[in-house]
Homo-oligomer: A and B are copies of this chain.
Amino acid sequence: MKLSTKSRYASRLMIRLAMDSSLDPLQLNEISRKENISEKYLSQIVIPLRKAGLIESVRGARGGYKLSRSIKEISLLDVVNAMEGGVEIVHCLKDDKLCDRTSSCTTYRVWDDVTKAMEMTLARYTLDVLLDMISSSDDPMSEI
Once the chains bind, are B1 and A107 in contact (CB under 8 Å)?
A: no
Task: Report B-chain residues with C-beta under 8 Å of the C-beta of A122.
Answer: 110, 114
Oligomeric state, in copies: 2
A130-B106 in contact given A114-B122, A120-B117 (Cβ < 8 Å)? yes
Main secondary structure of the interface of A (DSSP, over half): helix
The count of chain A contact residues (Cβ–Cβ below 8 Å) is 41
Task: Report B-chain residues with C-beta under 8 Å of the C-beta of A80.
Answer: 1
- Complex-state Cα separation, A79 to B126, whole angstroms: 32
Asked if A54 is at the interface (CB within 8 A of a chain B CB), the reply is no
Segment touching B, from A23-31, A41-49, A65-73, A84-92: A84-92
Bits for A108-124, please: 1 = Cβ < 8 Å to B, else 0: 01110110011011100
Task: Name A3's contact: one of B1, B4, B106 (CB within 8 Å).
Answer: B1
Once the chains bind, are B90 and A8 in contact (CB under 8 Å)?
A: yes
